[in-house]
Amino acid sequence: MLKKRIVICLDVRDGRTTKGVKFQNNVDVGDPVEMAAAYYRQGVDELVFYDIVASVRGRGPILDVVARVAAQVFIPFCVGGGMGTLEDIRNTILAGAEKISLNTQAVKQPALITAGARVFGNQCIVLGMDAKRDAAMTSGYRVFVNGGRTPTDWDARDWAIRAVELGAGEIVLNSIDADGTRDGYEIPLTRLIAQAVPVPVVASGGGGKSEHLVEVLTTGGADAALVASMVHSGEYTVGHIKAALSDAGVLVREDAAHRTKICSGVT
């Protein structure tokens, strides 16, 4: 049985880590490079960085932050926001990222998923999907873009399936309804997507205590759980979370032996 991963997300705006609730009322919580280094020392399995305003502002990826993080941590980390071209993807990987998250641009230009997977490998192309409850959709969930600001015509399940067909090798699935609430993950949504696609699904949005991670990694069907508020607040450390998961019978990584670069040969 594959071990479950703990992923920490850092939303970045204007060079600072920020955190909100349901994509609103964001507040500054620290320097992303310093926080990344601290979480690396705690033993986190992976990191995810999102420039939450890049798509809205029409700006490219945060290469300066990527390079500074790569000099501090030696675990896989994913970067999203502002990826509109293959050159953006290439530059971000060359700056030190192992994975690239396509969210808004994946919807606007789906061919970028295929092109990215062909050039850099499926394992490097992650679909970032922000979904919100909507009874008008077949699955009950609608896909949003532009940092959760803009609704699309895509049903969440249909878009997940299509993105994987196009070449996405992983999905980071964020529930807008649960984001930042710390009331628990959107289990029906996570289970829906995990059962629909053959690639790893990272559950995001709502993690507030260790029991929430146990639930989403077992009954929720997620391969990994993403956390933010519960560790940014200082209430939990990665070690505390992993110990609780292990006590609950969830297999987790306990050492740093897996910390290798997964994308190579990029020139």
Catalytic residue among 45, 51, 88, 130: 130
| β-strand pairing of 125-133 with 5-13 | unpaired
With beta carbons less than 8 A apart as the criterion, state whether 68 and 48 touch.
no
Measured CA distances, 137 to 2, 131, 140 (Å):
33, 11, 5
Does residue 177 have an active-site annotation? no
- 14-20 contacts, C-beta under 8 A, 24 or more apart: 14/53, 15/62, 15/64, 15/65, 17/232, 18/52, 19/180, 19/228, 19/229, 19/232, 20/179, 20/180
Three-state DSSP state, 101: strand
130 is catalytic: yes
Q: Are 99 and 170 in contact (CB under 8 A)?
A: yes
195-214 burial, b if ≥16 CB within 10 A, otherwise e? ebbebbbbbbbbbbebebbb
Q: Which of 11, 45, 88, 155 is catalytic?
A: 11
What are the residue numbers of the active site? 11, 130
